[in-house]
Structure 1
Amino acid sequence: MAMSLNLARNEGAMRVVVYSYRLSPDDPLPEIEWPDAGEGQRHYYDIGGRSQLQQLLQDCSEEAVDYLLVHEFHELGETVEAISQHLQAFEDMGVRVVATGGTAMQTRPEDPLELWDWLQDLHRETHRRRLRRGHQQQRLQGRPPPGKAPYGYLRGGDRYRVDRSTAPVVKAFFEHFLLYGSLRGAVRHIAQRYGKRISVTTGRRWLTSAVYRGDLAYKDGRVLSNTHGAILSRGEAAQVDRLLRRNRRLPPRTASAPRSLAGLVSCQTCGCGLTVSRVTRRQQSGEYLYLRPRDCPHTPKCSGLPYDEVLRRTVERVCEDLQRLATHLPLPDIAAHCRTGL
């Protein structure tokens, strides 16, 4: 139930203590504020254990305290029973426990119906915290998170173990991507060769997954390195990251398009991007490819260009540029290498 903030102001200086609990030292310490708490406010901290909570109970039995401030009620115990016992102990000593973590300050409800709902919420929260504690302990021991092992791995004890039956599929996916730089092409490759059908989204998740690199990634962003056998080596992983960064600079679908010039050329006259169009003739197996502006503003619109002719000239221009650049590169000192070999 909500509690008025004017209570502390009207009664003058209050004898207030604060209790904070964290599962691990890395958890953020919640801010707990109380109006007109005075300079004598004391703060008790616990990390993982409850020794300071027991010290707080002893101090409250020896010295009168008006209010105990906590961020949430579940900080007072691991179970609903433990929390209720601590709340009752403070109440017997005349200490009012106030939770400041919500939008309004909360105390334990007095109405039976409100108390029942409050206990249900408290039970769910304590259960969630126990699961979180278990996950943190598994992380400290380098164990994988709960759930099904990723495709290509099996759960072997407290580690991921490479699945000899499915790991070759994942390996082939990475090898095809490294060879051609096409995510959709790699997805089609394992579907045609191994019958393993995955979505493009799943394939992108494979490329960025820490598991296939031999690491474990957790929801809080932490990564533990070399926790199990890797399907993708460190060198290959670096190359995958470079290809992904390169593909981000290209228009959508360009990196996976079946045509080399798709999304890469534009009209010199109107500046619009050129799209690849395909024309077939009736009762003939051949096809004709041409490039046409996507949204040409001119009237009449810019005419299309033969795809093969543009591709040929593009390759010739790239070769000329490479040859010109190569002429300005410094030549290696062959004599020095020969002396080193001798």
Structure 2
Amino acid sequence: MKIFAYAYSDPLLESFVDPASWGWEVDEIYHDLGKRGELQQLITDCKSEAVVYLLIRRLEELGDSVAEVSDRLSTLEAMGVVTIAIEQPYPSASTNPRAELVKLLQEIQRQQRSRRICQGHARSRLEAAPPPGKAPYGYRRSKSKYTIDRSTSPVVKDFFENFLLYGSLRGAVRYLAKKYGKKISVTTGRRWLTNPVYRGNTAYHNGEIISDTHTAIISPEEAAQIDRILRRNSRLPARTASAPRSLAGLVVCGECQSSMTITRVTRRHQQQEYLYLRPLHCPHRSKCGAIAYQAVLEQTIAKVCSDLPLAVAGMNFPQLDAIKNSLGDAIARQQDVLTQLPALVETGVLDDETAQLRVYKLRTEISTLQAQLATLPPVNLRSVAQAVSIPQFWLDLSETERRFYFREFIRQIDIVRQNQEWTLQIIFIF
């Protein structure tokens, strides 16, 4: 008396089954990948072996149609083999076994129809074809890839350029509505900024991404900069990313650890306004006093000019370069393997289906490595630090432009109070 186990896996949809997943002490495991040669061997062995039980996950694994499943079940039952579907109820002795069997066959038919749909989607992925659904705004859908929509892609491009220039998502959304009359929500704008399609990549519902499948609207460098801005803005309090003042969301009172908000004060019958930074939620009975905004701004510029080059000089650039070189080498190796696959198909070492699977896996691995490379700081950070360490550079900028550059380098500005005096301590992002 023996117990056999059989599993069928479609290479387009599944990986190899773990032998320990059966939960029984199995004498022999048969596993088919794509074709059912092992199933035929199983039936042959059942004729010569005293097999009592056959474990399978689901009955539809025995064939590609209900007729095939029924025929193989009948063959196994004729040999006295009891088939147990461990992930699916199987009719045995009951009050109405025929009704149970009809219901089970309907379930098998539904599962096989669903599998065929999934197989079609998987074949499209192997060919790097777009997933089902409407093309993102700015693109049209062709038979095998996305193509640029010349009437709407300039709108998307302008949206990205505005965000890259000012670093404000809400500002870019308002800009679209004002210039083009294109009204989108902030949520839609955020989806545009992170959508792989605008970067020339195709993303699928299984979370995998294939790079360079069609013409991109933004370059890899612009995409990396967008990701850095989004990560930077996520650390700021809500709505301060689009605030008009450059210090908004950055200043914290060192005495009470409260974020400081910018208040505007005017005098009656006078157009001149005065700006102050005051703690938003000071817990002290004697509240921490407000500080003139312009004085904090001037000291911030002076501290950045003096401290930023020292902070950049303390970074471990050799280690950063080693990480970048390692990722670059890994990408180059994967691309080299890609170029070798056509020759292996021609010589018969690989068949077309296996080669397609390998190409798909390599391209998704390359996309993952490229994403890791894009998250690293730019190589020219030291030269940029030298350029922005000139006071005149900051004084020539508008408040909006100054806001962008402050957030590129500064994580937080602490105001350290000493009696009636105060000083600044700047915490950089690196």
Deviation at 1:65, TM superposition (A): 2.4
CA deviations over 1:66-94 (Å, ceiling 9, x no partner) = 21111222212233343233223322322
CA-based RMSD of the aligned residues comes to: 3.1
The 5-angstrom pairing of residues 37-56 of structure 1 reads: 37=26, 41-56=27-42
Q: Percent identity?
A: 51
Secondary structure, in 3 states, of the residue corresponding to 2:162? helix
Cα deviations across residues 265-318 of structure 1 (Å, max 9, x unaligned)? 122432311012345677877655432211112122123333344334433443
| Counterpart residue type for residue 116 of structure 2 | R
Which residue number corresponds to residue 3 of structure 1? none
How far residue 98 of structure 1 moved from its aligned partner, in angstroms, is 0.9
Instruction: Identify the residue that residue 22 of structure 2 maps to in structure 1.
Output: 33
Give the SS at the match of 2:29: strand
- The structure-2 alpha-carbon separation of the partners of 1:79 and 1:292, relative to structure 1 and needing over 3 Å to count, comes to farther
2:170 matches 1:184: yes
Q: How does 1:296-335 map to 2 (within 5 A)?
A: 296-321=282-307
Which residue of 1 is the match for residue 188 of structure 2?
Answer: 202
Name the SS of the counterpart of 1:241 in structure 2. Answer: helix
Match of 1:142 among 128, 149, 156: 128
Q: Is the 8 A contact 2:277 2:292 kept in 1?
A: yes
CA-CA distance at 1:63 after TM superposition: 4.3
CA distance in 1, matches of 2:270, 2:82: 89
| 1:176 Cα deviation after fit | 1.2
1:169 aligns with 2:158: no
- Unmatched 5+ residue regions in structure 1? 1-13, 331-342
**Distance of 1:130 and 1:26 partners within structure 2:** 11
How far apart in 2 are the matches of 1:280 and 1:125? 71
The residue that corresponds to 1:20 in the other structure is: 7
**Cα deviations by residue, 1:124-176 (Å, 9 ceiling, x for unpaired):** 32222111111111111111111111111111111111111111111111111
Q: 1:319 to 1:80 in 2, by over 3 A?
A: same
Residue 239 (structure 2) pairs with residue 253 (structure 1):
yes
Which structure has the larger Rg? 1
Number of matched pairs: 311
Q: Which has the higher contact order (CA 8 A, sep 6+)?
A: 2
Distance 1:325 1:65 in 2: 73
Of residues 265, 271, 276, the one that matches 2:257 is 271
In the TM superposition, residue 241 of structure 1 has moved relative to its aligned partner by: 2.4
Aligned: 1:121 with 2:107: yes
In structure 2, C-alpha distance between the alignment counterparts of 1:63 and 1:263, rounded to whole Å = 75
Output the CA distance in 2 between the equivalents of 1:170 and 1:210: 14
Query: Which position in structure 2 is the counterpart of 1:70?
Result: 56
Aligned residues of 2:91 and 2:100 also touching (Cα < 8 A): no
CA distance in 2, matches of 1:315, 1:199: 35
Shift in Å at residue 24 of structure 1?
0.4
Q: Distance in 2 between matches of 1:69 and 1:257?
A: 64
